[in-house]
Amino acid sequence: MLTIKMCDIADSLLLELMADMHVVKDKLGFFENKYHMPYEEFEQSMKNQEENYQHWDDYMEWKAYRHLFEDISRKIRDIKNADFEVN
């Protein structure tokens, strides 16, 4: 029987999440550079502009990456605080 330590599982998950976080941060940076503003300003500007499908598509994708960033951040925090269980 193979025995795996809980800390090894946590370390492996952390590495995977950190790699995912790197990709997400790159995407968030891409949008900030493309529009020369942070998400909050872009979101506000979307309320004041005529329909622009490219901007709308970018807005939805940017918003999704922000949610993904928060989700990954929460998972990393939970693993670092040993706030998880293995089933």
Kindly report, residue by residue over 27-73, the tens digit of the pLDDT. Answer: 999 999 999 999 999 999 998 888 899 999 999 999 999 999 999 99
Burial label, 49 (beta-carbon count in 10 A; 0-12, 13-18, 19+): exposed
Q: What is the DSSP string of 23-76?
A: HHHHHHHHHHHHHTS-HHHHHHHHHTS---HHHHHHHHHHHHHHHHHHHHHHHH
Q: Give me the pLDDT at residue 50, please.
A: 84
Cα–Cα distance measured from residue 84 to residue 13, given in angstroms and rounded to the nearest whole number? 11
The reported pTM is 0.87
Q: Is pLDDT above 80 for 20?
A: yes
Q: What is the mean pLDDT of the chain?
A: 94
Q: Give me the pLDDT at residue 55, please.
A: 95
Short-list 28, 19, 20, 21, CA closest to 66: 28
